Amino acid sequence: MSQWTPVVVAVLGAVAALYVALVVALFVLGRGQDARAIAGFVPDCIVLFSRVIRDPCVPRGRRILLACLVAYLASPIDLIPDFVPVIGQLDDALIAAFVLRRVLRGCESQIPVHWPGPQQSLAVLMRLSGAEASSSN
């Protein structure tokens, strides 16, 4: 076990706690719909990416690029190790943003078909990617 394992676990726990606190705060403030959208955003993205990877209508190159991103993010080997503060996580975020932008811009018409979450979350994802949702589910 690495000396960094307790630190990584603590940081992941803090991020998860902050995420839960944000969702709870939105519920307490009477913004239940926003809280549900935020709570479901990451799981919705996972479902979206798994569906896009399996969709034969999406160009093979885009599916392979997305599968490579998932493998890279799951791999313990990074361009800059995660134990390097800030920069270690920043390289993952930049690579993920680049790949997602490329994949989403390449198959805008397929994304709404596969999106399992609320339309406002899809609109945010498409806006961040620079693509426009061409239909709704």
Question: What count of Cα atoms within 13 Å lies in the side-chain half-sphere of residue 67?
Answer: 12
> What pLDDT is attached to residue 132?
61
Query: Is the CB of residue 126 less than 8 Å from the CB of residue 133?
Result: yes
pLDDT per residue over 77-130, tens digit each? Answer: 778 777 777 777 777 778 877 887 888 777 777 788 888 888 888 887 777 777
User: How far apart are alpha carbons 100 and 56 in whole angstroms?
Assistant: 18
Q: How confident is the model at residue 134 (pLDDT cuts 50, 70, 90)?
A: very low
For residues 22 and 10, the answer to whether their CB atoms sit within 8 Å is no
Per-domain residue ranges for the chain?
A: 40-129
pLDDT in tens, 17-70: 777 787 788 778 887 777 777 777 778 878 888 888 888 888 889 889 988 988
Residues near 67 by beta carbon (within 8 Å), at least 6 away in sequence? 53
- Confidence tier at 135 by pLDDT (50, 70, 90): very low
The pTM of this model reads 0.60
